[in-house]
Chains A and B, each alone.
Chain A
Amino acid sequence: MTNTTSFSYEPSEHEAEKASNSYLMSLIALIVGLPLPIINLIATFIFFVGNRKGTYFVRWHCTQALLSQFSILFINSFGFWWTVSIIFTEETISSKYIAYLITALIFNLTEFIATIYTAIQTRKGIHVEWWFYGNLTNLICKSK
């Protein structure tokens, strides 16, 4: 899921710390935002806006941290509203619903582990590109 590649330059200690923080930020937001998935997207977005004028390495990782939230946002939002409809409407708990929750859990867990791993690696100044999101970030985030 993740791929360690060399970045176009060697990031400084300060840059590595900031880049790593963007993942920690998204991690905390992910935990807080579990019941209301939009929260983690907003939190990461605020962090992204704050660092948009940072160095290339910091910008790159802030962008990847933000983009990686999107898939989880959709998965969790759907699960959230499904649960709400079960509680408040005539919807009942079905095998399909439980299967969805397990799938969402697997994807959340994968994202969680990948985020922790990337936070550790970026802190060491190692550049980690995620599957799909790495390529997407490369497309969006360019060195000036």
Chain B
Amino acid sequence: MKKLIIQSFIGVLLFFSTWFALAQIDWVSIFNTEKVTDKTEEKLGTLFWDIIKKTEKENKTPSVIATVDTIVNEICVANKIDRKSIKVHIIEKDEINAFALPNGHLIIYTALLANSDSPEELSGVICHEIAHIELNHVLKKLIKEVGISVLISTTTGNRNTEVIQETLKTLSSTAFDRGLEKEADIKAVDYLIKTKINPEAFANFLYKLSDTEKETIKYLTWINTHPESKERAKYIAEYYKKKNTTYAKILNTKTWNKMQEDLKIATQN
């Protein structure tokens, strides 16, 4: 009996050690599975961005671009994210929304900028979207929603405009899975802390928007597509309270106010 137990133990050990040893090899790059998805992602990103570029108006106000760029730069540097991999685009729109497209395209609507009370609030939303990009949630969502075959055929010539439009709509106006949203929220808080931005503003932003009156709710796409804002604000608060960090201001008030003024002028025009 003792021999049997030893033998079964050796058998199990042999299996797991073989698995462990083999797992040390980077099979993914050997079999190029990542390369294929990388290329697909790149093509999809360009495809979607081209559509937005054609149908929507891009905001090119220097102060707006500079402000958002400063925030994104700070976040990327502090979190060792390749800045070039995040391509920020600001779109003139009265919906409070921001979303990520494949290949690191980050779309921010001007209404979100105008409705953020501080650069810290805006940083929270940007961090959340960067987290979706960095955690590869965008492609995962697309694969789940439309299937890998449709995605590959879209990038290899079979350009069904209706399918592309629908897919783009999915990306901009529907939420990720609850689990993925929470993962992105927690990652966003980590990004904020590393950038020395107080995550309280992000939690407050969620509270504030979830309390906004019903008439304006149709414009609050970012909140509508991210349900249970209060619950999110709660777990975000619980998470950051565990960490003791000193925070600093990411932007000076003057720069922030200048951007808000320029935004107002641009909207009036």
**A99 close to B140 (CB less than 8 A):** no
Q: Which residues of A contact B23 (CB under 8 A)?
A: 95-96, 99-100
Given contacts A90-B140, A107-B15, contact A98 B4 (CB under 8 A): no
| Interface membership of A2, Cβ < 8 A | no
| Interface membership of B26, Cβ < 8 A | yes
Given contacts A132-B7, A132-B11, contact A100 B144 (CB under 8 A): no
Interface size class of A (residues with CB under 8 A): 20 to 34
Q: Which residues of B contact A75 (CB under 8 A)?
A: 15
From residue A93, how far is it (CB to closest CB) to chain B in Å? 5
Instruction: Enumerate B206-263 residues with CB–CB distance to A below 8 Å.
Output: none
Provide the bound-state CA to CA distance between A98 and B3, in Å: 33
Given contacts A98-B28, A135-B4, contact A71 B19 (CB under 8 A): no
Given contacts A100-B19, A103-B22, A136-B4, contact A92 B140 (CB under 8 A): yes
From residue B249, how far is it (CB to closest CB) to chain A in Å? 37
Given contacts A103-B19, A139-B1, contact A95 B25 (CB under 8 A): yes
Q: Which residues of A contact B180 (CB under 8 A)?
A: 90
| Interface membership of A28, Cβ < 8 A | no
B residues at A contact (CB < 8 Å): 1, 3-4, 7-8, 11, 15, 18-19, 22-28, 31, 33, 136, 140, 143-144, 177, 180
| Interface membership of A49, Cβ < 8 A | no
Provide the bound-state CA to CA distance between A136 and B8, in Å: 10
From residue A135, how far is it (CB to closest CB) to chain B in Å? 5
A102 touches which of B22, B33, B144 (Cβ 8 Å): B22
From residue A19, how far is it (CB to closest CB) to chain B in Å? 22
**A99 close to B8 (CB less than 8 A):** no
From residue B25, how far is it (CB to closest CB) to chain A in Å? 7
From residue B98, how far is it (CB to closest CB) to chain A in Å? 22
Provide the bound-state CA to CA distance between A92 and B140, in Å: 8
Given contacts A102-B22, A132-B4, A139-B1, contact A90 B28 (CB under 8 A): no
**A95 close to B26 (CB less than 8 A):** yes
Q: Which residues of A contact B136 (CB under 8 A)?
A: 92
16 contacts between A and B (CB under 8 A): A71-B15, A75-B15, A89-B144, A92-B136, A95-B27, A98-B31, A99-B22, A99-B24, A99-B27, A102-B22, A103-B15, A103-B18, A103-B22, A106-B18, A132-B4, A132-B8
Q: Which residues of B contact A102 (CB under 8 A)?
A: 22
**B15 close to A93 (CB less than 8 A):** no
Q: Which residues of A contact B24 (CB under 8 A)?
A: 99
Given contacts A96-B23, A99-B19, A135-B3, contact A71 B11 (CB under 8 A): yes
From residue A137, how far is it (CB to closest CB) to chain B in Å? 11
Given contacts A90-B180, A98-B28, 7 further A-B contacts (CB under 8 A): A90-B144, A92-B140, A96-B23, A98-B31, A102-B22, A103-B18, A107-B18
Residue with the greatest number of chain B CB neighbours at <10 A, chosen from A75, A92, A94, A131:
A92
Instruction: Enumerate A97-128 residues with CB–CB distance to B below 8 Å.
Output: 98-100, 102-103, 106-107
